[in-house]
């Protein structure tokens, strides 16, 4: 049988595992306090029969495992929240498409012509992570304007003021 050499250059015996009692004692001590004070380390060393350095290394490794578990839990929580928000965004985008379609259909019905709406980039449903900025940049283009009756347009000016307005083709 061949002996393994340790880092120190000597012959390394098979790595000894901690007993179940030692592990339980270390775990209880870890639950009480994550950091290990020197006097507490010495006391624990005498109680469970391990070298102070072994106890210090075990505590360091246990803190690292604890942090990994905590980060994994946080990641899982954030991922669930992200997935829920992503689904909500998809639903909202679908609602926006449906509402735009309804607006187009209503414009066609109300004006008896082909109408379309241009919405500024700030209001697009496929907005970037910056968020949707509110803006009143709506443009309605309507063909066959002369088909719209004067009664369907609210009168904002008196008839004498309207006579002085320029006429557009």
Element at 73 (helix H, strand E): helix 52-111
Domains of the chain: 17-111 (1.10.10.60)
Gyration radius from the chain CA atoms: 37
Say which residue the tokens 């339980």 belong to. 24
Q: Which two tokens stand for residue 1?
A: 């049988």
Instruction: Calculate mean pLDDT across residues 135-150.
Output: 45
Q: Which two tokens stand for residue 77?
A: 């929580």
Q: How confident is the model at residue 16 (pLDDT cuts 50, 70, 90)?
A: confident
Query: Residue 143: what pLDDT?
Result: 45
Q: Is the pLDDT of residue 145 over 70?
A: no
- Least Cα distance to 140 among 117, 112, 122 occurs for 117
Query: Residue 70: what pLDDT?
Result: 97
**Tens digits of per-residue pLDDT, 45-83?**
999 999 999 999 999 999 999 999 999 999 999 999 999
């Amino acid at each position: 049988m061949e002996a393994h050499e340790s880092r120190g250059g000597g012959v390394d015996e098979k790595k000894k595992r901690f007993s179940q009692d030692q592990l339980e004692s270390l775990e209880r001590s870890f639950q009480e306090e994550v950091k290990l004070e020197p006097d507490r380390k010495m006391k624990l060393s005498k109680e469970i029969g391990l070298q102070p350095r072994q106890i210090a290394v075990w505590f360091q490794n246990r803190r690292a495992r604890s942090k990994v578990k905590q980060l994994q839990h946080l990641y899982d929580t954030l991922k669930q929240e992200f997935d829920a928000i992503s689904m909500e965004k998809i639903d909202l985008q679908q609602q926006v498409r449906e509402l735009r379609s309804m607006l187009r259909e209503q414009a066609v019905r109300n004006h008896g012509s082909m109408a379309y709406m241009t919405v500024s980039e700030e209001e697009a449903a496929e907005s970037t992570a910056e968020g949707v900025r509110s803006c009143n940049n709506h443009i309605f283009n309507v063909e066959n304007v002369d088909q719209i009756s004067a009664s369907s347009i609210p009168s904002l000016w008196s008839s004498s003021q309207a006579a002085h307005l320029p006429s557009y083709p």
